Amino acid sequence: QQQVKQSPQSLIVQKGGISIINCAYENTAFDYFPWYQQFPGKGPALLIAIRPDVSEKKEGRFTISFNKSAKQFSLHIMDSQPGDSATYFCAASSPFGNEKLTFGTGTRLTIIP
Amino acid sequence: GAGVSQSPSNKVTEKGKDVELRCDPISGHTALYWYRQSLGQGLEFLIYFQGNSAPDKSGLPSDRFSAERTGGSVSTLTIQRTQQEDSAVYLCASRRDGVGGTQYFGPGTRLTVL
């Protein structure tokens, strides 16, 4: 049972463009929604996270948009750079589930010059 | 301070052998998680520790998998009688106590079962 669905599976964006990755969840008990960035051979690293009491959170070039009624959230990377090329995972957790993370299937992002 | 460390970074074993994977969490982090990352299954939860107790083992795929944590710090994930389908990257993450804290991941152990 896939509780967090992520799309697209892969994404190619030109340098300077906007990268957008989407996720949808099913479990309404989820109350914490982080995005992780993973480079080859490394563990995932937290990029940005949001709670459902706000609809948007911005940190530098990275923005999470959250739609509670639709049970959807997305990551926007503005002015995408080649160094942003990585795999991105959305995730969700619930305090009733020991805060364990349920991950999306990942998006391989490639930024081309 | 130091991040989460895991050892070994790579492990190649033969089918049927037992393996032990080690995780050293960030000092002071009481919560510890093991996840498995494989091509077909993505990142999936295995087990959660709070201190030395494991209140959630719901992700362990079979009774060949077990884990323990000692001194509220180091954790060991043991896989007995390894199978080829156990080949994956095993990731450990730790979190400070409290609700909604960030989980910090180690670099993982890549396990290959021949």
Note whether A103 contacts B43, CB cutoff 8 Å.
yes
Which among B50, B100, B106 has the least Cβ separation from residue A43? B106
What is the predicted pLDDT for the residue at B100? 66
Does residue A9 sit at the B interface (CB-CB below 8 Å)?
no
Which candidate, B22, B39, B37, B49, places its Cα nearest to that of B89?
B37
Q: Which pair of structure tokens corresponds to residue B7?
A: 């050892």
What is the predicted pLDDT for the residue at A2? 63
What is the predicted pLDDT for the residue at A97? 72
Q: State the Cα–Cα distance between residues B20 and B112, nearest whole angstrom.
A: 13
Q: Spell out which residues of chain A touch residue B43, defining contact as CB-CB under 8 Å.
A: 44, 89, 91, 101, 103, 106
What is the predicted pLDDT for the residue at B40? 66
With a CB cutoff of 8 Å and minimum separation 6, the contacts of B39 are none
Domains of chain A: 4-112 (2.60.40.10)
What is the predicted pLDDT for the residue at A82? 97
> Per-residue pLDDT for chain A (113 aa), expressed as one digit of tens each?
569 999 999 999 999 999 999 999 999 999 999 999 999 999 999 999 999 999 999 999 999 999 999 999 999 999 999 999 999 999 999 887 788 999 999 999 999 99
Percent over 70 (pLDDT), chain A: 98
What is the predicted pLDDT for the residue at A22? 98
Note whether B100 contacts A32, CB cutoff 8 Å.
yes
- C-beta separation of B26 from B11 below 8 A: no
Q: State the Cα–Cα distance between residues A10 and A7, nearest whole angstrom.
A: 8
The CATH homologous superfamily of the domain defined by B5-107: Immunoglobulins (2.60.40.10)
Note whether A46 contacts B102, CB cutoff 8 Å.
yes
CA angle centred on B110, ends B109 and B114, rounded to 5°? 135
Q: Share the mean pLDDT of chain B.
A: 94
- C-beta separation of A111 from A14 below 8 A: yes
What are the tens digits of pLDDT across the range B5-58? 999 999 999 999 999 999 999 999 999 999 999 986 789 999 999 999 999 999
What are the tens digits of pLDDT across the range A17-28? 999 999 999 999
Q: State the Cα–Cα distance between residues B113 and B98, nearest whole angstrom.
A: 37
DSSP state of A93: B
Note whether A105 contacts B42, CB cutoff 8 Å.
yes
CA distance, residue A85 to nearest chain B CA (Å): 18
Domain boundaries, chain B: 5-107
